[in-house]
Amino acid sequence: MSWNRYGIGFLVLVALVGCEKPVAERPMVEIHGRTMGTFYGVKVVGDFPGGQQALQTQVDSLLKHYNDEISTYDPNSSLSKFNQQQTSTPFPVSQEMADIVISALRVGQRTQGVLDVTVGPLVNLWGFGPDKRPVKTPTDEQITAARQRVGIQHLHVDVSADHAALRKDVPNIYVDLSTIGEGFGADKVAEFLESRGVHNYLVEIAGASRSRGVNAKGDPWKLAIQKPTDELDEVQAIIKPDGRAISTSGSYRNYYELDGKRYSHIIDPATGKPITHRLVSATVITPTSLEADGLDTALMVMGPEKAMAFAKQQRLAVYLVIKTDKGNFILAYNLVPHLMSVFNAKEYS
């Protein structure tokens, strides 16, 4: 979520708190920018060929390329053109577009359709996509009609050595990759840095991050999970990702109120409605950011009990924040031991 754009500032705070003696810092190249309707930041420890300006230009251009491919907010993106084509004719796409859709479908199958990138008609009906917010709560008839256009089983990817295409067997299926786009982007920026010989870096796009190596002080990177409140700089916990990707999804900042009820942007494909349970934030730690970004949303759909059962069954490192009846928060986690040691995991009110 866009609130995590302050994560980089938290890293500075953590480094200051964690180091009693001043240490000689290595040079660092740092850039910030806008992409995918949110903010991104990249830190490279050591030199980058061509310096900060070259890093900014190349990362901006890379992210623009992916935005042009997968944005549903741009009617001219490749994905929007596929969505506009209301037939079952195969639609040629780049190999990368095929790969991201295949990855999205895999996470969808792994979560038994809870993560569903064809949920776009419902996202838009509830006013969380490019369409305007509804002035009235959608009716059951509208929800039922939108649900007829939802289901990952209707979306197919055809790939051969020199050709890739997307195909839908319900002609008006609409694909929304918002839930994994930021994670995909963070992975691609990390791959780009690695290809330039950079091995100490941190990449953040909204709530999705990838990092490797050490920060300017020579310490492992540390990332903050924010408290599920309106205060942007309250830290809930610190994670040492140790080369893994981290992504957080939450229901408490992207919402609106209508007819006296609060609606979050996370949609349960089984009901066609925004979630209503008490899980307010889910953080997932996995090798790739795309996977973490898809799974955090899936956990948010599942709710606290099912999310924790899923994490245990899948041996997934997760950190959940749950709101209680009394209005305070409790934490639940399933983490590998060395990650757990850096969590400040205690009940608070």
Among 55, 152, 157, 266, binds ligand FAD (CB under 6 A): 266
Task: Provide DSSP, 8-62.
Answer: HHHHHHHHHHH-SS--PPPPEEEEEEEETTEEEEEEEES--TTHHHHHHHHHHHH
DSSP assignment, residue 6?
G
Q: Does 297 bind ligand FAD (CB under 6 A)?
A: yes
Is 303 near ligand FAD (CB under 6 A)? no
Phi-psi region for residue 37, left (φ > 0), alpha (ψ -120 to 50) or beta? left
Q: Which of 10, 82, 91, 128 binds ligand FAD (CB under 6 A)?
A: 128
- Residue whose CB is less far from ligand FAD, 58 or 249: 249
Q: Which structure tokens are listed for 89?
A: 């004719």
Q: Give the count of residues interacting with ligand FAD (CB under 6 A).
A: 32
Of 39, 43, 80, 116, which lies in the binding site for ligand FAD, with binding defined by CB under 6 A? Answer: 116
- How many Å apart are CA 144 and CA 166, to the nearest integer? 25
Identify the residue among 28, 152, 177, 223 touching ligand FAD (CB under 6 A).
177
**Among the listed residues 56, 78, 83, 178, the single contact to ligand FAD using CB under 6 A:** 178
Out of 85, 88, 137, 254, point to the residue binding ligand FAD (CB under 6 A): 254
- According to the binding rule CB under 6 A, does residue 115 interact with ligand FAD? yes
* Residue nearest to ligand FAD as judged by C-beta position: 181
CA separation for the pair 110, 45 (Å, rounded): 36
- The dihedral sign for the CA sequence 10, 288, 111, 107: positive
Sites for ligand FAD among residues 144-163 (CB under 6 A): none
Gap between the Cα atoms of 139 and 269, Å rounded: 16
Instruction: Give backbone dihedrals phi and psi of 66, rounded to 5 degrees, phi first.
Output: -70, -35
CA dist., res. 286 & res. 117, Å (int): 20
Task: State both tokens at 237.
Answer: 């916990």
* Whole-number Å distance between alpha carbons of 326 and 279: 14
Q: Does 249 bind ligand FAD (CB under 6 A)?
A: yes
Cβ proximity to ligand FAD: between 249 and 334 the closer is 249
Q: Among the candidate windows 176-184, 226-234, 327-335, 338-346, which touches ligand FAD by CB under 6 A?
A: 176-184
According to DSSP, the residues that pair with 41 across neighbouring strands are: 32, 204
In the complex with ligand FAD, which residue's Cβ is closer, 98 or 301?
Answer: 301
Least separation in angstroms between residue 111's CB and ligand FAD is 9
Residues 223-242 that bind ligand FAD (CB under 6 A): none
Is 269 a binding residue for ligand FAD by CB under 6 A? The answer is yes
Binding site for ligand FAD (CB under 6 A): 1, 36-38, 67, 70-71, 73, 115-117, 119, 123, 128-129, 176-179, 181-182, 206-207, 249, 254, 265-267, 269, 293, 297, 301
